[in-house]
Amino acid sequence: MAIEFRSKKTGWRLLAAAAALLFLQQSAMADVWGYIDAKGVAHFGTERVDERYELFFKGDESFDTALMALPNTGPAPTAPPKLLAFFDISPSYKLVKHHLREAAVSHGIDYELLQALIVTESGFSSTAVSPKGAVGLMQIMPATAERYGLAGDAKASVEQKLTDPKTNIRIGTRYLHDLIAMFPGQLDLAVASYNAGEGAVQRAGNRIPNYKETQAYVKTVLALYNGLKPPEAVVEQRRRPVRVRMELAGGAVGRGNLPEFATSVLDAVRPAATR
């Protein structure tokens, strides 16, 4: 969902800017629902899909990145306890966190962003395979992996190699890094591209495509990312005139371990770059 205001009068411009800022603040304050299944895999979404889901944190426990550009003397938000508890107890996360740390440093990406993206994509299940054929922790399509030089051989196919956590995280982080470079200063578009493909974002006029799944995906990933950021990092970001633009609404569908909704129209129109 995108809002665009145009006016020749200063008063209308100010009103439009205020309305847009209010919309951004409301959108950034996303509730995140989730549950941990019997295998220890996390499932998150922006809606309570069924009785298994509980509220992991309310939007007001996260923060609006649009406000980072403004002076703020209040305390920085802390990560919701339930969210931190998952990472404290998850064996699958503990097995791969050193790979995340290495990839984050190598590609200059926040560790917390990788955490948020992977837990949304696969719940940290290295063997996860989506209905569209995306594989592993970062739910990478074999075609995308081949773009980054991964090839099958007599010992293992591309799909099998993508179940290796180090390989999967390395390729997924490189892809995410390239998307962030493609859309500088617009993390929401980079995350949307990871879900729907950069072509879909470009065809939408460099906006989040009007796919219910992608809109909810961006909302979930950024809410988790904001919740995981350490307080001192939030304070530092508040000093910098940088913002993440949120233009979102809706629930999630058919991607990795996100909640499932109807997909017929979505499947007919979206590209398969990262499915």
N-to-C CA span, the chain: 22
Using alpha carbons, select from 34, 12, 196, 236 the residue that is nearest to residue 119.
Answer: 34
Q: What are phi and psi of 18, to 5 degrees?
A: -65, -40
Give yes or no for a contact between 222 and 28, defined as CB atoms under 8 angstroms apart: yes
Proportion of the chain in helix, strand, coil states, percent, rounded to 5: 50, 5, 45
Catalytic residue among 121, 198, 213, 247: 121
Instruction: Tell me whether residue 47 is one of the annotated catalytic residues.
Output: no
Using alpha carbons, select from 24, 66, 27 the residue that is nearest to residue 241.
Answer: 66
> Which tokens in the block code for residue 253?
């569908």
Instruction: Please list, in sequence order, all residues whose beta carbon lies within 8 angstroms of the beta carbon of residue 127, skipping any fewer than 6 positions away.
Output: 136, 163
| Local structure of residue 169 (DSSP, 8 states) | H
For residue 18, the SS3 value is: helix
Whole-number Å distance between alpha carbons of 166 and 148:
14
Q: What are phi and psi of 202, to 5 degrees?
A: -65, -40
Q: Which residues are catalytic?
A: 121
